[in-house]
Every structure is written in structure tokens, then in C-alpha cells.
């Protein structure tokens, strides 16, 4: 189920304090970048990714490609940096998101 606007807002506010933990360089979204991102998702639910100037794609295209490869959601993008979110039920400290309203 996609994230609601309120959920994305909460995640973006948390993400402002994060430092980029994944950097995408001249190789673009390579297998190594996907493996590294998956490894980071084992320890946290929200990560910040930085696209370096030598990257073959812009930040928007990189975000879409990496999110699809890691089965995560794009929370937001500012400049060369974007946030990805993937829930991890095995973590002790999880991010508490506001509930999504039912559209019934």
C-alpha cells in the first residue's frame, strides 16, 4: 500500500536529521549499490541517498530505479538527495507512522 501524504511528511521530518548513507556515483544504480542499500535496510527503515555529480542519471531517475530494485518507497527528494523507506518488522525501534484512512 502506498504511503499517504501525512506519512511522507512524518518521514521527511525524520529524514532531515539523517546523513546520506548510500552514495550513487559514476556506476549508477549498480548491483553493488542495490546490495549496499538492502544491507542498510536491514538495520533501519529510512535511509538518505546522495547522487554524486558523476552519476549517469539524475536524482529523480536514480531514485525510481533504486526504489524499484530494493522494493522501497520514495519519500521525497531535494537536490541530489532523496529518502527511501521500507518497513522492517524485525527491528526493535520502528518508525511510528500515522495510520492510513480507509477509503470505504
Confidence of residue 2 (pLDDT cuts 50, 70, 90): confident
Average pLDDT over residues 37-47: 94
Q: What is the pLDDT at residue 60?
A: 93
Q: What is the pLDDT at residue 102?
A: 65
pLDDT (tens digit, 9 = 90+) per residue, 65-93?
Answer: 999 999 999 999 999 999 999 999 888 88
Buried b vs exposed e over 67-102: b needs ≥16 C-beta within 10 Å? bebbebbbbbbeebbbbbbbeeeeeeeeeebeeeee
Residue 104, pLDDT above cutoff 60: no
Edge-first strand listing for the sheet containing 73-78: 22-24, 46-51, 81-85, 73-78
Average pLDDT over residues 6-17: 92
Residue 62, pLDDT above cutoff 70: yes
Q: What is the pLDDT at residue 100?
A: 78
Q: Which CATH architecture has domain 5-85?
A: 2-Layer Sandwich (3.30)
- Give the domain ranges of the chain: 5-85
Amino acid at each position: 500500500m502506498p504511503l499517504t501524504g501525512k506519512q511522507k511528511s512524518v518521514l521527511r521530518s525524520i529524514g532531515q536529521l539523517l546523513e546520506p548513507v548510500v552514495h550513487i556515483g559514476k556506476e549508477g544504480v549498480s548491483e553493488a549499490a542495490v546490495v549496499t542499500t538492502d544491507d542498510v535496510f536491514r538495520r533501519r527503515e529510512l535511509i538518505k541517498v546522495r547522487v554524486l555529480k558523476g552519476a549517469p542519471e539524475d536524482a529523480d531517475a536514480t531514485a525510481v530505479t533504486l526504489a524499484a530494485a530494493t522494493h522501497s518507497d520514495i519519500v521525497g527528494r531535494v537536490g541530489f538527495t532523496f529518502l527511501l523507506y521500507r518497513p522492517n518488522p524485525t527491528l526493535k525501534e520502528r518508525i511510528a507512522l500515522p495510520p492510513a484512512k480507509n477509503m470505504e
